[in-house]
Amino acid sequence: MATEAPQQLTTNFLNSIVHVVPCLKRVRAVFAGVTVADSARVVILRAVGYGRRAIPVYYFPEADVRMDLLTPGAETRTDQHVGEMHFYDISVGGRSADSAAWAYGEPDNRAEGFEPADAPDLRGYVAFAWNKIDAWFEEDVEVFFHARDPFKRVDCLPSSRHIRVTLGGEVVAESDRPVLLFETGLRTRYYIPKLDVRQDLLRPTASKTNCPYKGSAAYYTAEVNGQAFEDIAWWYPTATPECTGIAGGYIAFYDEKCDVEIDGMLQSKASWSIEPRH
């Protein structure tokens, strides 16, 4: 069993770029009111490729995990790069969850063109299935949806640029005081003060999403000239401390589904990403 932290690395695995990086924050996982993992020595495994971005995953040193609450499960898988995955069931009090955690054996070298040394050695580390844990914390701040990516940055910047949003031939929002949200690898989002939005055209929906960088979003459908544009806009009733600039009083639209003019220039609806292509 490995006893040292896996080296920080960037390597290629069959059209995927894999990073193993240290997380300098204290991370905790809570299940049924009990902290089942608590560590300031977590590493993060992240990957891009396979046609999409894989979400980051926290890996805890086994010594920082309540292994007494885990029992070997029936499930075993083999990851073509990292090795054999051994799953564990978790049981606390009267609650349990199957295949809630996993650990790896030796790195696998069966993928064509790779040597064992190319694969991160994660022996001695345990990861948990995000949705099978009740709550996650970085330091004392709860994290939602998935682990935070150390290579991701989000900036909320007030702006005086003129934004006009047109939908179904109708101007639904126009403002000289938007907040621009810049998020690594994604297109810019324009958050418009509610007073500058045609709220009479919007109705709330039941849709919700959670983002570890911004918070929990609620959605609107726009009804314009007899046409319904489902979940076309969203807002954050509350936001993370980093994104309080968009909380409460601002609405954003999917500009790839609307006509958006910035300082009189019509923006492209084409998708934009710096995701590496292979």
> Which of 185, 83, 91 minimizes the C-alpha distance to 125?
83
Give the per-residue pLDDT at 13: 40
Mean pLDDT score, 50-65: 81
* DSSP secondary structure code for residue 25 in this structure: S
Interatomic CA distance for residues 102 and 57, integer angstroms: 12
Least confident of 104-118, 131-145, 237-251: 104-118
Q: Pull the structure tokens for residue 202.
A: 């919007």
Residue 38 falls inside a structural domain: yes
- Distance separating the N- and C-terminal Cα atoms of the chain: 34
Specify the CATH number for the domain of residue 55.
2.170.150.40
Least confident of 44-58, 115-129, 242-256: 44-58
Residue 4 falls inside a structural domain: no
Give the per-residue pLDDT at 85: 84
**What is the bridge-based pairing of β-strands 215-224 and 227-235?**
antiparallel
Same domain, 138 and 184: no
Same domain, 136 and 165: no
Here the contacts of 171-176 (C-beta below 8 Å, separation 24 or greater) are: 171/198, 172/197, 172/198, 172/201, 172/222, 172/224, 172/253, 172/258, 173/197, 173/198, 173/251, 173/253
pTM for the model stands at 0.75
Least confident of 35-44, 75-84, 220-229: 75-84
Range of the domain at 89: 9-143
Same domain, 13 and 120: yes
Give the per-residue pLDDT at 81: 59
Let me know: does 32 contact 58? Beta carbons within 8 Å.
no
DSSP line for 161-190 = --EEEEETTEEEEEESS-EEEEETTS--EE
Same domain, 14 and 114: yes
Residue 71 falls inside a structural domain: yes
Residue 272 falls inside a structural domain: no
- Going across the sheet that includes 135-138, the strands are 34-39, 27-31, 135-138, 141-143
Q: Is the pLDDT of residue 53 over 50?
A: yes
Same domain, 23 and 111: yes
Structural domain total, the chain: 2
Residue 276 falls inside a structural domain: no
Interatomic CA distance for residues 125 and 176, integer angstroms: 51
Choosing from 89, 115, 143, the residue where a domain stops is 143
Choosing from 143, 169, 197, the residue where a domain stops is 143
- pLDDT tens-place string over residues 120-139: 778 899 999 999 999 999 99
Look at residue 107 and give its three-state secondary structure.
coil
Give the per-residue pLDDT at 15: 43
- pLDDT tens-place string over residues 190-213: 999 999 999 999 999 999 998 999
DSSP line for 211-275 = ETTTEEEEEEEEEETTEEEEEEEEEBSS--GGGGGGBTTEEEE-TTSSEEEETTEEPP-S-----
Same domain, 136 and 161: no
Same domain, 175 and 221: yes
Same domain, 171 and 260: yes
Higher-confidence residue of 75 and 52: namely 75
Look at residue 39 and give its three-state secondary structure.
strand
Average pLDDT score over the chain: 85
Same domain, 42 and 131: yes
> Which of 8, 149, 106, 125 minimizes the C-alpha distance to 60?
125
Same domain, 89 and 162: no
Same domain, 205 and 159: yes
Higher-confidence residue of 193 and 13: namely 193
* DSSP secondary structure code for residue 40 in this structure: S
Residue 262 falls inside a structural domain: yes
Distances (CA, A) of 40 to 1, 64, 116: 20, 9, 28
Residue 24 falls inside a structural domain: yes
Same domain, 256 and 187: yes
Residue 53 falls inside a structural domain: yes
Taking residue 28's Cβ as centre, other Cβ atoms within 10 Å add up to 22
Choosing from 106, 123, 143, the residue where a domain stops is 143
